[in-house]
Amino acid sequence: MKPLTRAEEEIMQILWDIERGFVKDILTPMTEPKPAYNTVSTIVRILERKGFVSHKSYGKSHEYFPIVSKDEYRTFIIKRMLEGYFDSSFAKMSQFFKNDESLNTKQYQ
């Protein structure tokens, strides 16, 4: 598994939420300015090549759905962050969040 680009991740977040949909269904919840239909279609096909998405064909239309779960991707990203920034130590990561005032969890509760 490889990390997703910001655009790929935005589309995956939508697919995880809606569970399956056509390109128009992916475009609907996107914030303005929305990308072009063809741009979203291209990104979804890239996600399919990367193994994150599959589709069911209805003639020329394709209904897309995730084949990598949000939990699987979240675990991958957190492990990557632990390895890359905290020497694979959950304790070091926890200490970082505890000590960083800008990441004070009280403001997010």
- The pTM for the full model equals 0.83
Q: Are 7 and 45 in contact (CB under 8 A)?
A: no
What local confidence, expressed as pLDDT, does residue 94 receive? 85
Rg of the chain over CA atoms, in angstroms? 17
What local confidence, expressed as pLDDT, does residue 90 receive? 86
- Say how many Å lie between the first and final Cα of the chain, rounded: 32
What local confidence, expressed as pLDDT, does residue 105 receive? 56
Q: Which residues contact 73 (CB under 8 A, 6 or more apart)?
A: 1, 4, 12, 52
What local confidence, expressed as pLDDT, does residue 97 receive? 80
- 13, two tokens: 């977040």
Low-confidence ranges of the chain (pLDDT < 50): none
What local confidence, expressed as pLDDT, does residue 9 receive? 97
What local confidence, expressed as pLDDT, does residue 42 receive? 97
